[in-house]
Amino acid sequence: MKKRLGLLFFAATLASSLWSQSIGLLGGYALTNANPSIDSDKIHFKKTPTSGFVVGPIFSWNFHPYLGFDVSVLSTMRGGDFRISVEGNTSDIIYKRTLYYVSAPLHIYFYHQIKDVELSFFVGPSLNFGLEAKDYAYLDNEFKKPLMDTETDETVIFGKDNYLSMFEVAADFGVNVKYKNILFRTSYQYSINNLAKNKAYVYALGNLVSGSLKETYRQGVFTLSVGYVLDFKKKQRTYSK
């Protein structure tokens, strides 16, 4: 699967670079807020925003004096830290999750240029493919007892019969400010589909819960990034009526 996604990453990058009006490299900070929930009044979650990163190429086309399209192929690292409190349990469960994705945001943007500054607002879907992930859960007491023998790796986190869906569709929107060849971007995306597949975190609860409980797991990701862009065609073109 990793090799296939690597080939997909390369093919998408090559195809986009051949047709784009501008090519750039983007990188920056990602702040992830995991949003787990479960159909039980006895289980409560306290979420902690977690730092990560985003990096990769960006390609754009202006097809109208005020409209454009861009696509990125990004490598992203996300976190998923939260605390689980169960009624009747003396110790909370501390839960830490690290996720690695290849993401392909597809945006329509509305732009306006004033001299050397271009301001644009963008919106669109982001197609995210899970590559690797690690989980770690332990009791919040003096012993810090792990609830698993070792960290759980990607072989039991992503996939059809495992904890999380490998494929995520997210709604993505944000703002670009470009000064000459320097691009500043801030964006936010949130999962549309439910990523929880099978005991997304209930396995950490052990025998504290029983029966089949409905689980959901979504992610909100805020990014702040900067990039360098090379323009190959003039931004303003003449359009026939």
| Domains of the chain and any CATH numbers | 2-231 (2.40.160.20)
Closest by Cα among 174, 159, 163 to 221: 174
Question: Within the chain, which residues score under 70 in pLDDT?
Answer: 1-20, 144-156, 159-161, 198-212, 233-241
Per DSSP, helices labelled H in the chain are 2-19
pLDDT given at position 17: 44
On whether the CB atoms of residues 104 and 12 are closer than 8 A, the answer is yes
* DSSP 8-class letter at 184: E
Q: How far from 116 is each of 25, 177, 182, 203, 233, CA to CA, in Å?
A: 19, 10, 10, 54, 15
Count the residues in the chain.
241
Burial class (CB in 10 A: 0-12, 13-18, 19+), 114: exposed
Two structure tokens written together for 106 = 């597809």
Q: How far from 122 is each of 9, 108, 143, CA to CA, in Å?
A: 22, 6, 48
64-80 burial, b if ≥16 CB within 10 A, otherwise e?
A: eeeebbbbbbbebbbbb
pLDDT given at position 13: 47
**Per-residue pLDDT tens over the stretch 39-82:** 878 888 888 899 999 999 999 888 888 899 999 999 999 988 88
pLDDT given at position 183: 96
Q: What is the pTM of this model?
A: 0.81
* DSSP 8-class letter at 208: G
Two structure tokens written together for 192 = 């549309």
- Give the C-alpha separation, 233 to 228, whole Å: 16
DSSP percent split of the chain into helix, strand, coil, nearest 5 = 10, 60, 30
Q: Which amino acid is at 102?
A: V
pLDDT given at position 146: 66
pLDDT given at position 16: 44
